[in-house]
Amino acid sequence: MDRNFWLALLIALSLVIGYNMWYEAKFGEYLSQQEQKALLKKQGAEPGKPGQAATEQTKSASPAPEQAAVAPVTSTFAPSPVASPTIVVDTGVARAVIALNGATLSAYALNHFTDDKGKPIDLVYDAAKYAQDWNERARAAKEKGDATFNAVAPYPTLGLRFDNQAFSTHVNSALFKTDAPAPEIKLAEGDQPLTLRFALEDASGVAIEKTLTFRPGSYEFDVNVNIVSAPKWGEFDYSLVWFGLGDEHSEFSGYYSYNGPIVMLAAERLADAPDDEKPFRDYQGALRWAGMAHRYFTMFGVPHPQGERRVRASYIDDMNATIEWVNHAAMESNPLALSVYLGPKRHDLLNPYPDGQKSIIDYGWFDVLAKPMYWILEMFFRWTGNWGWGIIMLTVLAKVILYPLSHKGFKSMQKLQKLQPHMKRIQEAYKGDREKMNQEMMTLYREHKVNPLGGCMPMVIQIPIFFALYKVLLESIELKGADFILWIHDLSLKDPYYVTPVLMGATMFLQQWMTPAVGDPMQRKIMMFMPVIFTVMFLSFPAGLVLYWLVNNILSIAQQWLIYREAKQEVK
């Protein structure tokens, strides 16, 4: 095997790989379509049939063809000729793109929110990537004969799901007629709501109409779906699918925030995200609303009228799930009507909703402390016009409130420092009898009225405040893109030059150096190493949180200096 052999082998491999790439680029789409048609045929479903399961269940109850009259979906629908495959509606706050194939929502780009690359954030989940993975896994399961594969099939947002997967695919790709006046419509302030109708009269005899109503300057729009069955199919259930939630990708979004469905049944709020082990959640009862929540954005649909309904959530991935509103298709009109909110989790936008939608903004375990903290922070923002200065004022306020406790803690540590010689003598005298040594230590503390844990109390009290503020800064979209000063242009992101984390570590080191030396030398060395650990941790934390800790350290240093000065004056 000389050099010529390896050269020939390399050329041959290059030709094979190159040919495969060319073939896929030229014929891949056509082969994919043929594969889809073969799959539909193999599943035993012709495009246009609602689903075998629904048909068998209702066959005996279906009226004879001559006895039934299929009511038209709407008598006022008048389609307009639109050459574009999509209809774009700009409401002023978002740019919605409706695909005529399936009359589904293919994009919803926010006008006032961008990702770290400056691109508008699209709240429609990219189901195409999921579809590729799902097709591969479904094919592998079929080849292995694995009957347990039940991952949710890909659907477009505002797509329809029937018992028959083939019919679902057919409807969600069929070309709907529309009465849209133009391919692109821009709503201005003061305009009337825009209502667009999309209709499909399928060869099966099933008639489908979707109606979308958009309002200028609003993240809310109305969805109305009406499916009228044909006599040969009878009645059947279907569902309107919201497939995941698009968002910007961030390490904080995935690991520190709740990402999943939220359902409000009567007065009970249910937030139980499906996972790969339990991929489905079914909810039935007096449904007020159901939706999806991410770190900064949310979607929820309020049914009209509210009442007894069924909703299903299905696992997509660790960040996303589907929400399906189940409805019944009959021989007459039986519409499913929803008011959908799709936008930021802003307090001022969610608070006015009457059915607990404000609970979508959830700060977790520290919610009771975090919500009033946000209210105070917002008040400071209104005073200063800057969230960064609001954080500084909130830090000062917290320090003032905790000052008596902190002062007492520092005093306690000073007393402990003065007792160090006595403590060392006790340790030497009873080093073989730990129980006796502890008894003598407690006697020493009582005689000098010293609390050995007093120096830890300020830090312990600050922990819930720290985590509550951490959740406020992490979850509150009001701070997204909030400018502070100089190089910090987004308090919800890390400091791009790591200046504040390094300053925070330096002030923490200075604070440790000024703290009275108590305990054994090894403990002292460990405590002096803590600033390094904290600095590394805080490098990726939101700049607003680092700002809080930095200002808190500076105030603590000033407080310690005052206490030392008081102590020196007392000695004099």
Give alpha helix (H) positions in 419-456: 420-429, 434-448
pLDDT value of residue 68: 31
Largest Cα span, the chain: 110
pLDDT value of residue 58: 33
Place of tokens 């009645």: 235
Find out whether 241 and 155 touch, Cβ atoms under 8 Å: yes
Find out whether 361 and 293 touch, Cβ atoms under 8 Å: no
pLDDT value of residue 15: 55
Q: How many residues does the chain have?
A: 572
Per-residue model confidence as pLDDT tens digits over 230-261: 888 889 999 999 999 998 765 555 556 788 89
What separation, in Å, do the N-terminal and C-terminal C-alpha atoms of the chain show? 94
Task: Tell me the Cα Rg of the chain.
Answer: 32
User: How many CB atoms lie under 10 A from the CB of residue 171?
Assistant: 26
Which two three-digit tokens encode residue 192? 């009337």
Q: Which domains does the chain have, with CATH numbers?
A: 52-340 (2.70.98.90), 367-571 (no CATH)
Find out whether 544 and 390 touch, Cβ atoms under 8 Å: no
pLDDT value of residue 348: 92
pLDDT value of residue 311: 95
- Regions of the chain with pLDDT less than 50: 1-3, 5-7, 28-48, 52-75
How far is residue 320's CA from residue 347's CA, in Å, rounded to a whole number?
A: 23
3-state secondary structure of 162: coil
In sequence order, which residues have a C-beta less than 8 Å from that of residue 390 and are 6 or more positions away? Answer: 377, 378, 380, 381, 383, 384
Beta strands (DSSP E) in 358-402 are none
pLDDT value of residue 29: 47
3-state secondary structure of 303: strand
In sequence order, which residues have a C-beta less than 8 Å from that of residue 424 and are 6 or more positions away? Answer: none
CA-based nearest residue to 371, from 381, 383, 362, 360: 362
